[in-house]
């Protein structure tokens, strides 16, 4: 139970930090900058682009390791993408 609480707080703070950096135009990290560029190019939300990039990376990783994709990781990335969209909604 306590681990789930800390995990949730971590996802919230991570997504809030990413949203602050994107909103402030301070220069996002490489993966966040990629998502921002893709969102402008393809007219998708930044959170959707974060999720799609993460799923592609999970798929490539699974292919290279010849394992099944780890879908719990995709769930985490989905939550991060949704939270980033949530934090950026008032500013978009």
- Reading the block at residue 13, the tokens are 């703070």
Intra-chain end-to-end CA distance of the chain, in Å: 35
| Torsional class of 27: left (φ above 0), alpha (ψ -120 to 50), beta (otherwise) | left
- pLDDT, residue 91, reads 52
- pLDDT, residue 25, reads 83
**pLDDT less than 50: residues of the chain:** 92
- pLDDT, residue 82, reads 94
Phi, psi at residue 70, to the nearest 5°? -90, 100
């Amino acid at each position: 139970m306590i681990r789930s609480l800390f995990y949730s707080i971590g996802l919230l703070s991570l997504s809030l930090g990413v949203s602050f950096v994107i909103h402030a135009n301070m220069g996002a990290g490489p993966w966040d900058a990629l998502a921002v560029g893709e969102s402008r190019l393809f007219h998708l939300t930044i959170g959707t682009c974060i999720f799609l990039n993460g799923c592609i990376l999970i798929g490539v990783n699974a292919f290279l390791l010849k394992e099944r994709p780890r879908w719990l990781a995709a769930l985490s990335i989905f939550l991060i993408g949704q939270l980033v969209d949530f934090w950026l909604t008032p500013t978009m």
